[in-house]
Structure 1
Amino acid sequence: MAVGLTYATSQTLVRMRLAAFRHALKDQNRLSWIGTGAFAGVVLAGGTIWVAAKGDLDVLVVALAVWMLGWIVGPMFAGGGDETLKPEYFSMLPLTPRTLSAGLLTAALAGVAPIISLLALLSLVVLGTQLSVAATLIALPAVVLQLLCFVLASRLAVAVYGVLLQVRSGAVLAAIVNAFILAFTAQGWALIVAFVSTDVQGTMASGARVAPSGWGLVAVEAAGRGDWLRVLLALAGLAVLAVVMFVGWSALLVRRTTASRTGRKPRRLLTATGPRDAAAAKEIRSWTRDLLYGHRAVFAISYGLFFCLMPLAIGWKGMLPWAGPAALVMAGSMASNLYGSDGTALWTTLMTPGSAGPDVRARQRAFLLVFGPPTLLITLLLTWWSGSSSAWPLVLSVLPALLGGAAGLVVACSVFAAVPTTDAHKRSGNPLNSGENESETMGIVWVMLILVSLTAGPALGAALAWSWWGVAVGVASGVLAWWYLGRLAAVRLDQRGPELLTLLRHGRSTTEQAKKAAVLDQLPRWRRTLANYCLGFGAIPLFPQAVVPAVFILTNNTDTKSWFLALHLEPQWHWPVIIAMAVLGLSMYTYGGLTYLNAKKKVAASST
């Protein structure tokens, strides 16, 4: 009876999941994101199979570890993963936790990501065919168990992360861990070089074989040489791990769907005497009391620290002065949807006459108070620690420019390009999931990373050209950006506040969706895909391959070459390569932006 109910539940949830996926494909924007991700995944899966065909087992086991790490970490940076079917939807149904968990797990396997991971895991079968018939047969259950562990590890990680975000200390811990993982993807090379002396690949491969992601490969290898005890231990280990993760996930789902969330009595009432002070106090308390706000603040600062401290592992202090600016860039991108995070609570502001200006300035003041002091302290201490006298005018010029630029951009972006999210009082047990517009939210975050970085351009150029005069330029540009962008946001909120509230309450109207679809219909699919690639990957040649090595060369920090192409070449080729990369990055952004701008103009012209 129980087995039949579980099967019927799983079948129903799979049909629901596939129906939702077919509906998502009707949205051209989401279709583009899905297609881009699927293409990249297939390419990576093909590379994994190619490594297996070559018989390079050390590289293969490390690649499988990266796949499993992507399953665990990826959802934390993509709004909690795909939760089309939320557990809360089924809390009133007479289903046991195990039945519901089994159904949700089965539905989770019916997606693009599991199929691509299955393609990558077929590398075990390719490896088995090179060893023996027995190894090929063992590879089949190993692939199934390994894929099951991938998906369960992802679900369990998101569930644990959601529990941590329910309490302040957990939100802080989760932010620090998240920041370390993201920084490691960019700067982990330093830790690897430091702690692995000569045999980098061999040592990483040994560690990857011990990790659960390598147990399937261990079973296939052991079957190839006839070590059946090791085969049994590896496969049994995967099966037991899957069961343990399934039981743990089921328990957390029960907690998520049954835990009551009661309000708390305010610890201290607002004592402001005017609208400006009241709005500022309210915003400060949002950053200190809303766990998601606090999580993002800690994440931004921790990321800046980890990103610039990791090279210390190899004794390189050149990145230390830039921890504060890096934290500000990340903070600006994480706070790019302030009004969208408010949701329908915006009506309390709109119902108060003349509140648009004070509210916008209050959000800017709160941003400055939350991120200004810590980033300034970090910059002063780490620049002093680095011992680089040439870095002082650079970082002290860039810091005020970024601080003012970010404070202006966060309010302007959140008013002009707000993305509807789930209201705070309606958040599910997975705080990472903020609604149905995750791809749009992530797009705004990536754009803000670029825009906030660009606000430091005049100050950095002035500091490189005139040294300490760059500080004055940085302060002036920061103040100008803070004032002008804040004024634009206040005027927009005052004039179009009701439309913004409607957007946050009901989502985009049918007319807006039709206009958006019309813009996309103006473009051939190949051109739209190319424009998306240009906008998505233009930052790679522009920043890490042009801006960063240019700063390193100008500050005489060329010892650590990392993945900066120009620094691996002869000195006479440094600047030509940097200029070429900068032109390439700017050209990619120009092409992508003009493609959509021209399509939008054609739609506007045809409608008139």
Structure 2
Amino acid sequence: MAVAMTLVRMKIAILRHSTKGQRGGMMASGGVLGLLLAAGTIYLAFLGGDWLAAAYAVWMLGWIIGPVFSGGGDETLRPEFFAPLGLPAPRLASGLLVSAFVGVAPVISLIALAGLLFAATPGNVLVAVPAMVLQLAVFVLLSKVAVAVLGIALRSRVGAIGAGVINGAVLAFLGQAWVFAVAFGQGGQIPSFVRYLPSGWGLLAVQGDYLALLAMAVLIVLLLAAWAALLTRRTGANRPSTRGRRPMRAATAREAVVAKELRTWSRDLVRTHQLTFALAYGVFFAAAPLALGWTGMLPWAAPIFIVMAAAMTSNSYGTDGTALWLTLMTPGASDVRGRQRAWLVTVGPVAVLLAVAFTLVTDGPWALILASVTALLGGAAGLVPLISVYALVPGTDPQRRGGNPLRTSEDDGALTGLAYLMMALVALSGAPALVAALLYGWWGVVAGAATGALCYWGFGLLAERRLAAQGPELLHMMRTGRRPQRGGMAFKLPDLPKAQRTIVMICWSFGAIPLIPQGIVAAAFLANDRLRMSWFLATYMPPGLRWPTAALMILIGLTMYGVGLWIPYRAKKRPPVYD
């Protein structure tokens, strides 16, 4: 107990000093969004049926999958910090578990679990309190075990690929949950088996099945033992050897950069996991409507894959760490152009194969798919190095990564925001070609090739100039983790009031919803006379309101992104106030 209380005090002290500035604003924004989701979950308790059980299943999957996007989850206190103390693994795991209850995410999850109070049958209200605590412990431990297992999987190529496929599939199915709600329920009924998942045991307990409390207690003991065993492997793990690889050969400096990047793509298991995850997400997200017999979304697997691959690699220079000094000491190496070519060589063939194969199978809209793929490949290849040098997030050198390979930076919130920003910008780079294809058919492919080439060349040129002008500052930031006081990153948020920072984060995080699915994609459906399609609002409107609705959604999305950029811009231009 003494160890646990000490870790709790350490966690509180660290959080108390990290709730200021940009990180504090992001925590506040995430807290507000989490409270809204928790309130919605509690509301489901009054609807009856299995809606609350389904919501808790989503919360459980969020705890398991969320760490993939947040650098391995909350690791304010890392197990490696305490390895020299010689604490027994079960004792360390117990202490870290208790400290894991301190934070924004556990508090919000506990509020969401308050729905058990309202779902409890008469006489079982008091049972809801231990059920809430045990259910939260199950969520936290499942998250910890999932991160530990994934960390071990990322030490082998087969494990990295398998983990990427599983994570991509689960997240894609979560994003297409409406499909399965309709397929299984025929009218919105939730399958009864969700009540018997571990996420539903608390609900069973408050409705009179007291064995569910015992089942949760047993599961917690088993998960704690598994986590302790995994912690032992994590703190004592050795890195795999990469000896026996063929030497790189290149005739020019640019070819050397391409060869180096391709070798990194083949050796770095984190990159392998990221690429596999993006591919699995694109395929499963587009294939999910097959459960309803609809094949119209399958050809869009390629554009989705490109956008997700760009988002996963948006911090390209940051993940390389201080290896940037090699580039700075080799003038004329054209590092940016080499990275662009390597990115295209890695992602491009897979995307083209997906586009051709799925469009051929479904006899889909060739002009739309080919136009979007050509535009998105060029836009992504240009934006990945550009955003990486303008909004670089200091990362951990690959050789210094701890037992959690997913954690490539200390600022997980910035990485998440950077990924969302990249998704929006890459999607926008493909919008002109998509509109041209809708209006002029195959001329859209020409427009896609032109805009893709322009983005590739223009954004790459801007990235090269930025790297040449601010290279030493970028290297200093990656070595120290601190941004320079002058010449800092263009995308760094200024100090804003919490309300304004919350608005900015909401605009950046959710602007893509009205812009892309409800606007651009809905317009594509309307152009092909596809009506009443899933959750695309414009396809359900009367004939005279369909196109205005799609246009309004696009305008709302652009407005959200405009507000998200205008508020920080206005704050930067505001003169300083002196006391």
Query: CA, structure 1 residues 467+509, in 2 after alignment: closer, same or farther (shift >3 Å)?
Result: closer
Tell me by how many angstroms 1:161 deviates. 1.2
Identify unmatched segments of 5+ residues in structure 1: 1-6, 223-229
8 Å Cα contact 1:520/1:528 also seen in 2 = no
Instruction: Show the counterpart of 2:166.
Output: 177
Alignment of 1:207 onto 2:193 = yes
Matching residue within 362, 380, 386 for 1:412? 386
Tell me by how many angstroms 1:169 deviates. 0.5
For the residue of structure 1 that corresponds to 2:239, the secondary structure is coil
Instruction: Show the counterpart of 1:379.
Output: 355
For the residue of structure 2 that corresponds to 1:456, the secondary structure is helix
Q: Higher mean Cα deviation, 236-245 or 344-353? A: 344-353
Query: CA, structure 1 residues 279+47, in 2 after alignment: closer, same or farther (shift >3 Å)?
Result: closer
Tell me by how many angstroms 1:336 deviates. 1.2
8 Å Cα contact 2:391/2:489 also seen in 1 = no
Instruction: Show the counterpart of 1:61.
Output: 53
CA distance in structure 2 between the aligned counterparts of 1:191 and 1:49, rounded to whole angstroms = 22
CA distance in structure 1 between the aligned counterparts of 2:490 and 2:370, rounded to whole angstroms = 42
CA distance in structure 2 between the aligned counterparts of 1:519 and 1:179, rounded to whole angstroms = 30
Instruction: Show the counterpart of 1:551.
Output: 524
Query: CA, structure 1 residues 385+87, in 2 after alignment: closer, same or farther (shift >3 Å)?
Result: same
TM-score w.r.t. the length of structure 2 is: 0.95
8 Å Cα contact 1:318/1:557 also seen in 2 = no
Instruction: Show the counterpart of 2:12.
Output: 18
Query: CA, structure 1 residues 276+22, in 2 after alignment: closer, same or farther (shift >3 Å)?
Result: same
Instruction: Show the counterpart of 2:285.
Output: 307
Instruction: Show the counterpart of 2:112.
Output: 120
Instruction: Show the counterpart of 1:190.
Output: 179
Tell me by how many angstroms 1:515 deviates. 10
Alignment of 1:423 onto 2:422 = no
Query: CA, structure 1 residues 8+189, in 2 after alignment: closer, same or farther (shift >3 Å)?
Result: same
8 Å Cα contact 1:311/1:319 also seen in 2 = yes
Instruction: For residues 372-405 of structure 1, give each alpha carbon's deviation from its aligned partner in whole angstroms, at most 9, with x where no partner exists.
Output: 11111111111111123xx111211221111111
Please tell me the residue identity of whatever aligns with 2:354.
I
Matching residue within 530, 535, 541 for 2:508? 535
Query: CA, structure 1 residues 590+517, in 2 after alignment: closer, same or farther (shift >3 Å)?
Result: closer
Alignment of 1:44 onto 2:37 = yes
Tell me by how many angstroms 1:606 deviates. 7.8
Tell me by how many angstroms 1:84 deviates. 0.6
Query: CA, structure 1 residues 520+279, in 2 after alignment: closer, same or farther (shift >3 Å)?
Result: closer
Instruction: Show the counterpart of 2:374.
Output: 400
Instruction: For residues 30-61 of structure 1, give each alpha carbon's deviation from its aligned partner in whole angstroms, at most 9, with x where no partner exists.
Output: 22221122222223323333333x36142222
Tell me by how many angstroms 1:524 deviates. 4.0
Query: CA, structure 1 residues 198+324, in 2 after alignment: closer, same or farther (shift >3 Å)?
Result: closer
Instruction: Show the counterpart of 1:32.
Output: 25
8 Å Cα contact 2:131/2:202 also seen in 1 = yes
Task: State the identity as a percent.
Answer: 47
Q: How many residues align?
A: 578
Alignment of 1:498 onto 2:472 = yes
8 Å Cα contact 1:180/1:306 also seen in 2 = yes
Tell me by how many angstroms 1:409 deviates. 0.8
Tell me by how many angstroms 1:518 deviates. 11
Please tell me the residue identity of whatever aligns with 1:215.
W
Query: CA, structure 1 residues 322+24, in 2 after alignment: closer, same or farther (shift >3 Å)?
Result: same
Please tell me the residue identity of whatever aligns with 1:83.
E
8 Å Cα contact 2:515/2:554 also seen in 1 = yes
Query: CA, structure 1 residues 524+122, in 2 after alignment: closer, same or farther (shift >3 Å)?
Result: closer
Alignment of 1:563 onto 2:555 = no
Q: Higher mean Cα deviation, 360-369 or 264-273? A: 264-273
CA distance in structure 1 between the aligned counterparts of 2:100 and 2:542, rounded to whole angstroms = 50
Instruction: For residues 242-280 of structure 1, give each alpha carbon's deviation from its aligned partner in whole angstroms, at most 9, with x where no partner exists.
Output: 000000000000000012225431410112222222211
Alignment of 1:589 onto 2:561 = yes
CA distance in structure 2 between the aligned counterparts of 1:587 and 1:98, rounded to whole angstroms = 52
Instruction: Show the counterpart of 1:240.
Output: 218
Matching residue within 64, 68, 83 for 1:72? 64
Instruction: For residues 346-368 of structure 1, give each alpha carbon's deviation from its aligned partner in whole angstroms, at most 9, with x where no partner exists.
Output: 1112112322x2x2111111111
For the residue of structure 1 that corresponds to 2:574, the secondary structure is helix
Runs of 4+ that moved beyond 6 A:
513-519
CA distance in structure 2 between the aligned counterparts of 1:41 and 1:31, rounded to whole angstroms = 15
Instruction: Show the counterpart of 1:162.
Output: 151
Instruction: Show the counterpart of 1:439.
Output: 413
Matching residue within 90, 112, 120 for 2:82? 90
Instruction: For residues 397-452 of structure 1, give each alpha carbon's deviation from its aligned partner in whole angstroms, at most 9, with x where no partner exists.
Output: 22111111111111111122211111100111111112211111111111110111
8 Å Cα contact 1:121/1:143 also seen in 2 = yes
CA distance in structure 1 between the aligned counterparts of 2:169 and 2:331, rounded to whole angstroms = 44
CA distance in structure 1 between the aligned counterparts of 2:44 and 2:179, rounded to whole angstroms = 25
In our comparison, the structure showing a higher alpha carbon Rg is 1
CA distance in structure 2 between the aligned counterparts of 1:286 and 1:153, rounded to whole angstroms = 31
8 Å Cα contact 2:54/2:190 also seen in 1 = no
Tell me by how many angstroms 1:526 deviates. 2.7
Matching residue within 318, 321, 337 for 2:315? 337
Please tell me the residue identity of whatever aligns with 1:384.
L
Q: Higher mean Cα deviation, 15-24 or 346-355? A: 346-355
Tell me by how many angstroms 1:507 deviates. 1.7
TM-score w.r.t. the length of structure 1 is: 0.91
Alignment of 1:573 onto 2:545 = yes
Query: CA, structure 1 residues 166+512, in 2 after alignment: closer, same or farther (shift >3 Å)?
Result: farther
Tell me by how many angstroms 1:575 deviates. 1.3
CA distance in structure 2 between the aligned counterparts of 1:175 and 1:405, rounded to whole angstroms = 24
8 Å Cα contact 1:324/1:375 also seen in 2 = yes
- Name the one with the larger helix percent: 1
Query: CA, structure 1 residues 403+93, in 2 after alignment: closer, same or farther (shift >3 Å)?
Result: same
Identify unmatched segments of 5+ residues in structure 2: none
8 Å Cα contact 2:302/2:354 also seen in 1 = yes
CA distance in structure 2 between the aligned counterparts of 1:515 and 1:314, rounded to whole angstroms = 46
